[in-house]
Amino acid sequence: MSGGPPHSVLAAARSRIHTTNARPMMTTPRRTARRPFVPRVAAPREPVDPAGIGRRVVRRQAKGMDAAAVAAALDDARFDARQDSRHEGLADDVRGRAELAEWERLDQLLAAAPAGTVYDPDTDPVVQDELAAEAAAAADREAAVREAQRIAARADELQALRELGTLEQTEPADGDEAVRDELTRRAGGYVQADVDAWLAHALAAHRGHYADPAAREAAAGLLPPPVLAHAALLAELARLVPGADVDELTFAARLATTEPEAAGALADFLTRAHPEDH
């Protein structure tokens, strides 16, 4: 045995040193599995339209003007345009050209109106048509943002199910084809074999929203050929061998991935082999 102090003495000494030099204890929060960062979908900004800005400026200036005032403003705009044409930097002035064109339109509009008429953009049919088009475009942009947010949320949900190993038991929903594309994008463009197989099995078995024939028909234009070929082949194999286990049909995924045309041709052949079953 060693001649050193007993272990209990050393432990006590260390304990005293630790107590004397004690510092506030720092606790590290438990780490959880972190998912890849996915940026939130931001609302798209309204595109800059110099021509539209120019037209709106003219309309504000022209509000309340009669034909004579608009004609004078048109003369000024034409003079400015001639001056600008002499400067190389202003030769391609989109806004300036739009302003001139708008003054010309308003001049013609008031020339054809009864005497004494003043310009009012609220009664200008061209302005009202533009406002309606802008409102429709804004509504489309908002709808696109909501759809992108829905896709992102569903992609998060499916990713969580993948991590839990329960994706195969999940019923597909309308729009999951776009969610598949989002998951592929998040993976750097690499095909997500488990997601593709999940959709192929669901399409073959008419599960989830694929119970609707319209959804199955739409899938033909939303899913890539390998997934469609996989689904077609699975459907025919399930018809020929109804009790086949999923693990027995993994070859179908490999064939559809590497040779989608061959897989589709095989599915068609099996269909013709037993047409009475369809």
Domain ranges of the chain: 50-120, 133-277
Q: What is the pLDDT of residue 45?
A: 64
- Provide CB contacts within 8 A for 154, sequence distance 6+: 173, 175, 176, 179
- Split at pLDDT 50, 70, 90, the class of 234 is confident
Q: What is the pLDDT of residue 41?
A: 53
- Split at pLDDT 50, 70, 90, the class of 212 is very high
CA distance 194 to 200: 10
For the cut 60, the answer to whether the pLDDT of residue 278 exceeds it is no
- Split at pLDDT 50, 70, 90, the class of 10 is very low
Stronger pLDDT, 275 or 78, i.e. the higher one: 78
For the cut 50, the answer to whether the pLDDT of residue 245 exceeds it is yes
Stronger pLDDT, 49 or 157, i.e. the higher one: 157
For the cut 80, the answer to whether the pLDDT of residue 138 exceeds it is yes
CA distance 270 to 233: 9
CA distance 74 to 165: 71
- The arithmetic mean of pLDDT across residues 109-134, rounded, is 96
For the cut 80, the answer to whether the pLDDT of residue 255 exceeds it is no
Find out whether 179 and 154 touch, Cβ atoms under 8 Å.
yes
For the cut 50, the answer to whether the pLDDT of residue 27 exceeds it is no
pTM of whole model > 0.75?
Answer: no
Find out whether 87 and 65 touch, Cβ atoms under 8 Å.
no
Q: What is the pLDDT of residue 266?
A: 75
- Split at pLDDT 50, 70, 90, the class of 149 is very high
Say if residue 36 is exposed, middle or buried (CB neighbours under 10 Å; 0-12, 13-18, 19+). exposed
